[in-house]
A and B are shown apart, each in its own frame.
Chain A
Amino acid sequence: MDELEELYQEIVLEHNRKPRNFRKMDDPTCTSHGFNPFCGDTITLYMTLDEDVVTDVSFEAAGCAISKASASLMTQAVKGRTVDEAQATFGKFHNLVTNGANGGEDDESLGDLVVLAGVRSFPTRIKCATLSWHALRGALEGEETVSTE
């Protein structure tokens, strides 16, 4: 597979065309705006929490295929999880996009998110993949705006 196809796997392209949970939320528990000054991509992330469980998560974004698909995949990955699980997933995901897949337990627990492993070969695009996760963390930690810089 060439690097381009590894970056833009079919699942990525498909999530870009039809992002999941791509909507404004009316009464979120918390929200955060993410901004990538490098390319101008923006995201607004909305979350509903029940105690420490993420019961709903959605986003609105203007950005590239990687940032949109990553956000879409993220919403699927964290819905129904606890806040701690979501934060831990971010750690593993960050490792995946900076160091690549390692074929171990971490990869398995990331599920569909591993399709973004190809980002590693494109250092300028790593922040595209992590923007939505920064916004997620911002929302959980009460930061209204976060930047990837």
Chain B
Amino acid sequence: MTLSLAVFGVLTQWRRYPVLRCLSIWLLALGFAFGMENAIYGLFQRLVPA
């Protein structure tokens, strides 16, 4: 439900502030969550304190 609303909001309001920057942060967080297989996890693992 929440994900559907988010996708709908991005598709219809992507020009409106702060949709794009929130989407970018979300994608970054998702990339981190599904890490171990991509560069985002490795980067954050070095930059973010344990």
A and B physically associate: no
